[in-house]
Chain A
Amino acid sequence: MAQASLQSSPTRSTSDQIIDRIWRFFCSVRAAVAEITFLALLVLIGTLRGSEVPRWIAEAFPFLQGIVDRWYAWDVFSSLLFALTLALIAVAIAVCTLNRAPSIWQTISHPRVATSRSWLRGAETSATFTRTGTADSLADDLSSVFAKRRYRVLSERIGNEVHLYADKNRFAKLGTFPFHLALILILVGGLMAAHYGFREQEFIVVEGDTRPVGHNTGLSIRLDQFTDNYTAMGVAASYKSDITILQDGREVKSGDIRVGHPMSYGSATVYQSSLGFAKSFRITDAAGNVIYEGSQPIGVFTLKGNPDAPAGLVDLPGIGGQLVFAAQDTDPANRPDLDTLNLNSDQLWIQLGLRDAASGQLVNVPGQKVELGKPAQIGQYTITWTGTNRFSVMQVAYNPGVPVFIIAVVLLLGGLMATFYFPHRRVRALVSSTGDSASVQLAPLAKRDWSGKRDFLRLIQDAQESLGTPTAVKLPKSGGDWDTFKPKTNAMT
């Protein structure tokens, strides 16, 4: 139990008392549980936001429509409240861990050895062995039994009695520290990634093109080739991009990337995300000068007049304009009434927008249909759709939190395994002698711990080999479950 170790006293200053209160708040398990519960509630709200559940609620209870609208509008995981809750929990973990450390270390290194007859009498489970001999020899034999089961044994003589304290897996109690440290490190890793890293989520490169990464990396990525395979049902079976990474224009690394198989160079890692098609154009002015020659992705731009059609945009800074283009809408799921272009599969619709010199506004020249390879005259410009090729959607990211995350994972799993799979088992015993006989009464520290009691009874079974039949064994009150662990004894309570 994490409890505040500091006590307020009348002589302490107000600031000390305030610090004490804050410390106690962060150490409070009740507060920690409330914080985790509140975080869970926020996570639930954020999770449901990504589902149809709020909409179902609004349909069932129309008067809640306003709340549901606000629910959908609230990005929980980007909110200040969520960040503050995470920060609060991180601080609580740190403070609570520091506060618990001395008591845990005390339990591990300097546990109290002496016990009392009243505690042993009150224990729910206990056993007593009696035999001829001295208390010391009985204590030695009992210590051997403990040692066989990998218990550490500490003893203390008080008067004619020998007090024994035996425990095993004591260092597993430290498992709570790496586990909680790992949670903090995961948050630290996330913060490092957010503040010192970068992530380009839709890094689109058309086959044959090169695109700079930016973020002061000096890197560019060229898509040499894109390969994809499809199943008979038209589902993508695999796709990969053959890319070349350039550092300040110089080729530094080549290879292919696939989903789940990224490529790293320097501070950047390139991931395969998805794919698409691009349209190539050649635009010349009245004098025959090439204004633009290249490819632009299609399907990444929404056309105002026909929002379902796959569309694209060519920016033309040289002439202060842009070219909008759209292809046939082939998706049967789309609304056919919105398709006002009526294109064939071998047609594109293009519209040139030119900036008015006086007003600076973009003025659209009426759009027209074009066919592959056939030049179209729009104003003084000749626009030719020269082909269709592919583009690859990649992600480019730099995450400096990766090493921190890896350390956190190791600590988290190690801490969990130590805590759960190596439980701290403790047994107290009191050895005394009367005349030429000695007896020992021992009991586990396993209040409301079924497994602890079971382990203790197994220990008693082992002890019978060297200590003889116990004179008394006190089984847990919840009878009926202990038959398989019942030791051979002549006295059972």
Chain B
Amino acid sequence: MDGLVRFSFYLFAASSMAIWVSAIAYIAYAVGRVRVQRQTMVTSAGSTVTSMSAEFGPSVQGVGRIGTMMAVFGALFAGFAILTRAIAAEHIVLSNMYEYSLVFIFFTTSAYLVFERIYGVRQLGAIVMTVAGLMTLYVWSLPSDMREINPVVPALQAGPIMAFHVGSANLAYSVLSVSFGAAVLFLIADRWAPRWLPSAEMLDDIAFRAVTVGFPFLSLMLILGSVWAHDAWGTYWSWDPKETAALFAWLVYAVYLHTRTLRGWRGRRSAYILLFGFASLIFTYYGNYFFGGLHAYGGVKM
């Protein structure tokens, strides 16, 4: 069984490399070709003036295709890492921050690929795959003993409800990472309007569609968490810091949806809300570092 755990870790290592290659390829694809030109002129007074200018052009399609291919490999390796670990552990791999982050990497990469497939926008990968890549760095930074299989504490032995609660949270954060990526690109497109970036309207739509997928999962996470808490602790809601942090993120995205659908907010203001929403998700995700309380299960300590 130890061999399977080690194999799972090697798969994660392979996934990390693929994801970083993918992120770099997507960044190169998004930035495009940069041609720096230097011009020297002699003025009538005889002095020499030198000017530098940068000319941007679209990148070759092959770079984008490498990004997609490596993202697919990253998702596959992460998926198999989860599968092999689940077989070795004989439980769903959501019991500590190592496993939770591994699943996040898989979901984020997969969610990005789905959006790339639907919208045909590879530039989005420059942001989203970087987020996934940063998460791989976080996983590498975790104590090595977290890579071992440990029995699940009784509080987490709640079967499908707990699995769907944590899984919904992970899926919501992953899809909302896509909306974050679209919001960042929107702000770039809106400010500088580079020709090779997708239109701002399309990026705005991607961000919105991602929220329409992520927000229900965020709601489901709160609901299933409440159902589980009712069975485990006798109450739906305990005002536990991690609970309220998730509620805060939910409220931020509720504000985004209301301002967008009812007040017609589009563009920069909506994008800024999404950046703030993503910051609140990060705050919730890493809440185990800040909070005590009932959710201090992640196996991380300051």
Contact = CB atoms under 8 A, between A and B. Distances in A.
Binding partners A and B: yes
A40 B251 contact: yes
A12 to B, nearest CB: 27
Contact of A33 (B199, B259, B292): B259
In the A-B complex, the 4 residue pairs with the closest CB atoms: A478-B199, A50-B241, A450-B205, A420-B212
A470 B287 CA distance: 56
Given A1-B263, A269-B234, A235 B248 contact: no
B201 A235 contact: no
A261 B157 CA distance: 10
B209 A30 contact: no
Contacts of A261: 231
Interface residues of B, number: 61
Contacts of B292: 50
Interface in B274-302: 287, 290-293, 302
Given A413-B216, A417-B216, A36 B199 contact: no
A83 interface: no
Interface in B241-287: 241, 244-245, 247-248, 251-252, 254-255, 258-259, 262-264, 266, 287
Contact of A43 (B153, B226, B231, B248): B248
Given A450-B202, A478-B200, A39 B263 contact: no
A450 B155 CA distance: 45
B120 interface: yes
B198 interface: yes
A481 to B, nearest CB: 5
B204 A450 contact: yes
B291 A51 contact: yes
Contact of B258 (A32, A237, A396): A32
Nearest to B155: A259
Nearest to A82: B239
Contacts of A239: 154
A48 to B, nearest CB: 8
A29 B258 CA distance: 8
A52 B290 contact: yes
Chain B residues touching A, majority SS:
helix
Given A40-B248, A199-B235, 8 more contacts: A33-B263, A47-B291, A231-B151, A259-B155, A262-B231, A405-B226, A420-B213, A421-B212
A485 to B, nearest CB: 10
Among A30, A52, A261, A416, the one with the most B-chain Cβ atoms within 10 Å of its Cβ is A416
Contacts of B2: none
Contacts of B231: 260-262, 271
Interface string B182-221: 0000000000000100111110110001001101100110
Given A47-B245, A413-B216, A260 B158 contact: yes
Interface in A1-41: 1-2, 29-30, 32-33, 36-37, 39-40
Contacts of B252: 40
B236 interface: yes
B266 A448 contact: yes
Interface string A399-416: 100100100010011001
A260 B212 contact: no
Interface of B: 120, 150-151, 153-155, 157-159, 161-162, 195, 198-202, 204-205, 209, 212-213, 215-216, 219-220, 223, 226-228, 230-237, 239-241, 244-245, 247-248, 251-252, 254-255, 258-259, 262-264, 266, 287, 290-293, 302
A238 interface: yes
Contacts of A258: 154, 157
Given A30-B263, A259-B155, A260-B158, A47 B244 contact: yes
Interface residues of A, number: 64
A39 B157 contact: no
Contact of B263 (A29, A53, A189): A29
A47 B241 contact: yes
25 contacts: A1-B262, A32-B262, A37-B251, A40-B255, A44-B248, A47-B241, A47-B248, A49-B241, A50-B240, A50-B241, A51-B241, A190-B237, A193-B235, A201-B234, A236-B153, A237-B154, A238-B157, A259-B155, A271-B231, A396-B234, A399-B230, A409-B223, A421-B212, A449-B205, A476-B199
Contact of A262 (B226, B234, B236, B251): B234
Contacts of A105: none
A445 to B, nearest CB: 13
Contacts of B245: 47
Contacts of B153: 235-237
Nearest to B121: A481
B122 to A, nearest CB: 13
A132 interface: no
